[in-house]
């Protein structure tokens, strides 16, 4: 199809491709409708209605969908949220989504994600979750929630109603004393950037609970340590030490009482010694008088 001046408006290639040559596709004429520019940019002059169909790269039933409420689905055509991203993938390093800042400029900040919500005037009766975590079965795992106008809580599920086989821990201050605290730097950092912490494999031998076991590839599946999970053994160790301190205090009080008794006995002994000395002196005087009378 050509204009009067011979310029192409729309052409259909031998392979079936339709080329608009940068012109508008419109049911009313003029600069409205759908335009695909020569560099591939798509421009829509009004509302784009997908009629609950997929926007797909190959025409299949996958890609992006938008429902009647404006919810956007990626990988699903029944989005439940404003943005619903779904995929069915497995394996180490295979993630549903990535949010990446490609700037990589160490002369300034390269921020990645802003999560904005909650209360501008905090109400503790209605704590808002910034991020909520569930397993594949929908079981609650934890959340990051607002706990003030300038504070957060990083919470792991700890409700008594979710637990069983509750008993006192076998770990104690003796185990804590076996944990080695190391100074080190990461290979990817400068050797002047010193960190203080634990070696995951070594910590696992003493206290395995905070350690995430890695795999053969250190780049995709390294061993890791959840430092927050060290809190229970720290608390237990303080409790053990406090028991020892209380016992030592009790023994010290007993020793003090015994020393006080000894001091009293020594004082009584000194008084009795003084009395004996007085009696002995009196006897000596009596003996002397009797000897003179003879």
pLDDT surpassing 50 at residue 2: no
pLDDT surpassing 90 at residue 205: yes
**pLDDT recorded at residue 227:** 95
Write out the two tokens for 176. Answer: 């804590």
Cα separation, 23 vs 159, whole angstroms = 63
Residues 101-150 have pLDDT tens digits of 999 999 999 999 999 999 999 999 999 999 999 999 999 999 999 999 99
Check if the beta carbon of residue 152 is closer than 8 Å to that of residue 117: no
Residue 120's Cβ-side half-sphere holds a number of Cα atoms within 13 Å equal to 0
User: What predicted TM-score, i.e. pTM, was given to this entire model?
Assistant: 0.68
Residues 242-272 have pLDDT tens digits of 999 999 999 999 999 999 999 999 999 999 9
Check if the beta carbon of residue 52 is closer than 8 Å to that of residue 44: no
Cα 20 to Cα 23, 34, 226: the distances in Å are: 6, 10, 57
Mean pLDDT of 226-255: 96
Q: How far apart are the first and last CA of the chain?
A: 167
Burial (CB < 10 A; 0-12, 13-18, 19+), residue 33, is middle
Which of the two residues, 68 and 172, has the higher pLDDT score?
172
Write out the two tokens for 6. Answer: 């011979």
Check if the beta carbon of residue 153 is closer than 8 Å to that of residue 171: no
Cα separation, 244 vs 141, whole angstroms = 37
Task: Give the chain's mean pLDDT.
Answer: 87
DSSP per residue, 203-221: HHHH--TTEEP--S-TTTS
Residues 58-97 have pLDDT tens digits of 767 788 888 888 899 999 988 999 999 999 999 988 999 9
**Domain locations in the chain?**
1-48, 63-101, 127-166, 168-233
């Amino acid at each position: 199809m050509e204009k009067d001046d011979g310029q192409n408006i729309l052409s259909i290639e031998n392979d079936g491709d339709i080329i608009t040559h940068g012109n508008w596709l419109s049911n009313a004429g003029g600069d409205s409708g759908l335009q695909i520019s020569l560099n591939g940019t798509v421009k829509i002059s009004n509302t784009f209605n997908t009629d609950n169909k997929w926007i797909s790269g190959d025409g299949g039933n996958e890609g992006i969908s938008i429902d009647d409420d404006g919810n956007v689905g990626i990988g699903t055509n029944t989005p439940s949220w404003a943005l619903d991203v779904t995929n069915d993938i497995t394996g180490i390093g295979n993630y549903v989504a990535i949010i990446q800042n490609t700037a990589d400029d160490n002369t300034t900040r390269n921020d990645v994600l802003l999560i904005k919500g909650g209360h501008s005037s905090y109400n503790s009766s209605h704590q808002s979750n910034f991020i909520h975590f569930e397993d594949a079965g929908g079981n609650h795992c934890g959340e990051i929630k607002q706990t003030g106008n300038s504070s957060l809580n990083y919470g792991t599920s700890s409700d008594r109603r979710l637990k069983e086989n509750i008993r006192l821990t076998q770990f104690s201050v003796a185990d804590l004393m076996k944990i080695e605290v190391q100074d080190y730097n990461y290979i990817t950092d400068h050797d002047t950037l010193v960190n203080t912490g634990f070696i995951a494999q070594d910590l696992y031998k003493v206290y395995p609970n905070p350690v995430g076991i890695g795999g053969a590839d250190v780049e995709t599946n390294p061993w890791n340590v959840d430092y927050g999970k060290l809190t229970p053994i720290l608390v237990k160790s303080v409790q053990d030490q406090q028991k020892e301190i209380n016992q030592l205090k009790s023994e010290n009080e007993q020793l003090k009482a015994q020393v006080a008794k000894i001091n009293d006995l020594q004082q009584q002994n000194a008084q009795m010694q003084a009395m004996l000395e007085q009696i002995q002196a009196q006897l000596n005087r009596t003996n002397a008088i009797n000897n003179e009378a003879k």
